[in-house]
Amino acid sequence: MLDRTEDLLKIENLSKNFSISAGLFARPFQLRALQDINFTVKRGETLGIVGESGCGKSTLGRCILQLLAPDEGRVLWLGQDITKLPAEEMRQKRRDLQIIFQDPLASLNPRMTVGEIIADPLRTLMPEVNAKERRERVLRTMEAVGLLPEMINRYPHEFSGGQAQRIGIARALISEPKLIVCDEPVSALDVSIQAQILNLLSDLKDEFGLTLIFISHNLSVVRHVSDRILVLYLGRIVELADGDDLYDDPKHPYTRALLTAVPIPDPKRARQRTIEGLVGEIPSPINQPSGCTFRTRCRYAEERCAQVRPPLEVIAGGRNVACIRWQELDLKPGA
Amino acid sequence: MAGITGKDAALTAYANALANEAPKGRSLTQDALRRLFNNKAALVSIFVLIAIVLFALVGPYLLPWTYDKVDWSAIRKPPDWAKGHYFGTDQNGRDMLARTLQGTQMSLLVAAVATVVSVVIGILYGAIAGYFGGKIDAVMMRFVDIMYALPYILFVIILVVIFGRSPVLLFVGIGCLEWLTMARIVRGQTLSIKQREFIEAAKAGGAGPFTIIFRHIVPNLTGPVVIYATLTVPEIILTESFLSYLGLGVQEPQTSLGTLISDGAPVAEALPWLLFTPAAILVVMLLCLSYLGDGLRDALDPKDR
Amino acid sequence: MADVLVVDDLDVTFALHDSEVKAVSDLDFTLAEGETLAVVGESGSGKSQAFLSIMGLLARNGKASGRAMLGDVNLIGMAPDRLDTHRGKDIAMIFQDPMTSLNPTLKIKTQLAEVLVRHQGYDKDKANRAVIEMLERVGIPEPVKRANAYPHELSGGMRQRVMIAMALLCKPKVLIADEPTTALDVTVQAQMLDLFKNLTNDFGTALVLITHDLGVVAGVADRMMVMYGGRCIEKGPTDTLFYDPRHPYTLGLLHSTPHVAKRAKRLDPIQGLPPSLEHLPRGCAFHPRCAFRFERCFEERPPLLPVEDVREKACWYQGELKYEEVA
């Protein structure tokens, strides 16, 4: 039985900036991709991360896996900070931490066969496994993700998006990881295939006792797979709550705006509801607004929102919200 | 599982059979070769090139004359089938066909040597600069810029001074200069390949920088590298002709296509066969190589057409 | 209402190296004035190719046959120079990625005014005024400033609005939008769909919305047409198809779409993979993935036949569509 209370992963004060070159002699811009991120991931749960493009959700996934080095803060994996591990030790940790990518075909090396692609992490992470056993494990994993064994010698370009994504999932699974970061794993897929992959992920999660971090811009999908959901806006957490709580009773105006904007595949309900359009578009992450970064688009913004940066408060039900007005506002859908 | 699988277990096998007709994989290379062989011009070029190479290698053993043997009875003579001078003789009474074949051998050899050297250095240099990026890239590529800026012929003269007696070493040296463009092309490609997600996947799989470069980046450079290499070969052959024309190339009695042409050109009116044979071979070879290069480009990047 | 576009027997074929692929087969549909028709399908269903062929924008190896009557002219097989007198004026199209449809080196104003000068014979001042007015109508703040910007200076949502403005400049009878919101964020997508709803009302333009997202369809479309394997397999009013789908594929799509307001334990996806157009299955193209197939589906292709008054479907199965619950 999994201990679902154990903190598998803890992110503390994580920040990441990118320098954008402004030419040879100009000072580079600082693009603040992530600022002061704090959250934990419990063993066996699925944590959804949602946000619009440029909110830093993919950067966050990569910082967790140390594919990008965070500028500040710690990433605690089972209590150990992995941000400053020497290369060899980090490599050992990679067995436990894997990733699935958005574009299934781009994430597969076109010059390698399916078998080679899936076996690749084994070759580098567990060189002690011999060729015969490696092949057996590849075949076992292929079966688990719904690929036929005779596909082992084919090349990625011979597969459709859905099958290619299964190959990517098999590669992530082969080292028997504990945590998989799924970065928009179904966004590039056709609807009917999306559902297959979502079901596959949930089956694999049960079968292998995985913990998932599921990054997506699609709230319907995130809602479907996640136990808890974290909402990012301009590199900051604005809200973190259990899936149902978040959807039934959002506390942050941005969460509500996102929820009302999601297209609903139900004509009557779609016609009835009023879309609470957000004013304008996301500000540039180089030039962020003062105070609450969402205030420029928030219909509930007041003067003080420009002065105070709202802290991420812990409120009832183990939720987090970063809005100074959350107590005054009733943001329930339909309200 | 809830849903669809209920009544049709019997039909599933049929559906599966429909879904998987081809168990054997076709790699990108096989795909490209198939497209290449469908290109008639390229296919003809390949056959002609193979024929020229084979003839250049085997031909000399079948001829009555060697390239350096002087026939005192036939100096500056047009083709004479009875004596075995099928393409005539030169001013020193040496058999033109034998000399042309030897020249072709020499030209092909130096072209191959220089191309291989330039490709190897270019790939390594470009891939490393592109992959590591940042300061390493800046320094490595500035070095390339500086090399570009220095006059080519100066290096050649220095090389001739160093390797004067050995044309092969000379062209190893020329290969060491020719890699600059290759390195730039490879670096550009590497920059775009390293953005692809499969590189990130390899990192997540624990692969170190050199594993990534050699296992994941270099194999994906095949397209531009092969194309550029087929364009480098004629370039080197022309360079060799040019150097021979200047008297910096191959030494007598050995010869090369370039040397033969430069010897034949001044007397082309009186003794046309001295120019005709080597020039024809050179032109045919260059044409074939450029058709082949075009064909390869189309075959490797079908989307760009 | 009068039909502005009547498409009859439309076929699109592509010549490949040594074979031909049929991307669209026997497509028939009508589009009434001011109506919004959603064309739903997955990649390879032929949904985009059908409308590219109507616009005369097929790739060089593509060939269309059949009829697409815009008023009393047939757009299929029309010479390019004659087509240009209709394209942009009577029928316009916008694409998923607006950046590819805008010239990055020209100001927004210049590109839009050109359309009016060409089709309506406006002089430059009049055209510029009309452009700014149109930019304002599609919800672009500070239209004068934005009109003088270059495409890369605008955000994705703004660019798509510019494309819509450009398409609507000559008040076309038909606007074809190919996945217009797929590349946009949810909040911007919502603004965009709102805009579409209002514009079709205001201009009387008929809208064809090509999409794979049923959520987008539900809020905007009056009628929808579902395509699979290059053919229309079901069409009818949006509500009837959503609440009472008659083709197993439509049903499957609805069950595959996650719904933000209700969390199902599992989705019921369609099994298997979409067919490649080069190797379409015999009989009904959907049969290898269909839960309701029977012998006839393997051999005979079902024709698109009317069911009840307002809808049509192409399926042999006549029983009730219900998934069996298997424990």
For A176, B106, B201, C38, the CA distances from C216, given in Å and listed in that order, are 39, 68, 33, 9
| DSSP 8-class letter at B80 | B
Question: Which of B150-154, C153-157, C297-301 has maximum average pLDDT?
Answer: C297-301
Q: What does the alpha-carbon distance between residue A100 and residue A177 come to, in Å, rounded to a whole number?
A: 12
Both tokens assigned to B155:
């290096």
The pLDDT value recorded for residue C264 is 66
pLDDT at B10: 37
> What pLDDT does A45 receive?
93
Query: In the 8-state DSSP scheme, what is residue A157?
Result: G
Residue of C nearest to A277 (CA): C191
Q: Cβ distance C168 to C102 under 8 Å?
A: no
Q: Chain B: nearest CA to A77, how far in angstroms?
A: 15
Contact C258 A220 (CB under 8 A): yes
Task: Output the pLDDT for position B221.
Answer: 87
| Weakest mean pLDDT among A150-154, B251-255, C170-174 | B251-255
Q: Which chains touch A (3 or more CB pairs under 8 A)?
A: B, C
* Interchain contact, C212 vs A190, CB within 8 Å: yes
- C-alpha distances (whole Å) from B115 to each of A75, B33, B237, C275 are 49, 21, 10, 45
A176 shares contact with chain B (CB less than 8 Å):
no
Kindly state the average pLDDT of the residues B19-37: 67
pLDDT at C318 > cutoff 60: yes
Helix, strand, coil percentages (3-state) for chain A, rounded to 5, are 35, 20, 40
Distance from the Cα of A335 to chain C's closest Cα (Å) equals 15
Q: Which residue of A has its CA nearest to C185?
A: A52
**CB-nearest partner of C269 from A195, A259, A270:** A195
Phi then psi for residue B150, to 5 deg, are: -75, 145
Residue of A nearest to B17 (CA): A148
Contacting residues of C for A281, CB less than 8 Å apart: 155, 157-158, 188
Interface check A120 vs B, CB under 8 A: yes
Opening angle at CA A113, ends A107 and A116, nearest 5: 85
C224 within 8 A of C300, measured Cβ to Cβ: no
With beta carbons less than 8 A apart as the criterion, state whether A214 and A222 touch: yes
> Which chains pack against C, by 3+ Cβ pairs within 8 A?
A, B
pLDDT 10s digits, A35-85: 999 999 999 999 999 998 888 999 999 999 999 999 999 999 999 999 989
Higher pLDDT, B195 or B61: B195
Q: Say if B303 is an interface residue toward chain A (CB within 8 Å).
A: no
Q: A281, C267: Cβ pair inside 8 Å?
A: no
Average pLDDT of chain B, as a whole number = 79
Residue A181 neighbours by CB distance under 10 Å: 28
Instruction: Report the DSSP beta bridge partners of residue C5.
Output: C31, C70
The shortest C-alpha distance from A304 to chain B (Å) reads 42
Global pTM value: 0.84
Nearest CA in chain B to C256: B3
Cβ distance of B2 and C268 shorter than 8 Å: yes
CA distances from B96 to B62, B92, B110, B283 (A): 14, 10, 21, 17
**Cβ-Cβ contacts under 8 Å for C19 (sequence gap 6 or more):** C278
Asked if pLDDT for residue C257 goes beyond 90, the answer is no
Interface of B with C (CB under 8 A): 1-8, 11, 14-15, 18-19, 21, 38
How many angstroms separate the CA atoms of C247 and C313, rounded? 6
Can you read off the two tokens belonging to residue A65? 């896996």
Model confidence over A151-210: pLDDT tens digits?
Answer: 888 888 888 888 999 999 999 999 999 999 999 999 888 888 888 999 999 999 999 999
* Mean pLDDT on A296-323: 89
Whether residue C291 contacts residue B3, with contact meaning beta carbons closer than 8 Å, is answered with yes
C267 at A interface, C-beta within 8 A: yes
Cβ distance C326 to B18 less than 8 Å, yes or no, reads: no
How long a stretch of residues is chain C? 327
pLDDT, residue B11, reads 40
Residues near B146 by Cβ (< 8 Å), separated by ≥ 6? none
Question: C282: distance to nearest CA of chain B, Å?
Answer: 10
C101 vs C147 pLDDT, higher one: C147
Q: Is A116 on the interface with B (CB under 8 A)?
A: no
Which residue's structure tokens are 């046309």? Answer: B272
Q: What is the mean pLDDT of residues C226-245?
A: 93
Edge-to-edge, what's the strand order for the sheet holding C305-307?
Answer: C91-94, C174-178, C206-211, C36-40, C223-228, C231-237, C311-313, C305-307
Average of pLDDT values for A308-313?
Answer: 90
For residues C36 and B18, the model is more confident at C36
Which chain B residue is nearest to residue A126, measuring alpha carbons? B206
The rounded mean pLDDT for chain A is 88
Q: Which of B82, B45, B85 is nearest to B65 (CA)?
A: B85
The pLDDT of residue B7:
34
Option in C42, C217, C219 nearest A271 (CB): C219
- Kindly report the backbone phi and psi dihedral angles of residue B92, in degrees, each rounded to the nearest multiple of 5, phi listed first: -100, 10
Six token digits for residue C147: 């009109």
Asked whether the beta carbons of residue B27 and residue A111 sit closer than 8 angstroms, the reply is: yes
Whether C291 sits inside 8 A of B4 (CB atoms) is yes
Burial of C54 (0-12, 13-18, 19+ CB in 10 A): buried
Complex-level ipTM: 0.85
Tell me how many degrees the CA angle C171-C175-C178 measures, rounded to the nearest 5: 150
Q: Which of A1-10, A157-166, B126-135 has the weakest average pLDDT?
A: A1-10
Instruction: Report C:84-143 residues touching A (Cβ under 8 A).
Output: 141
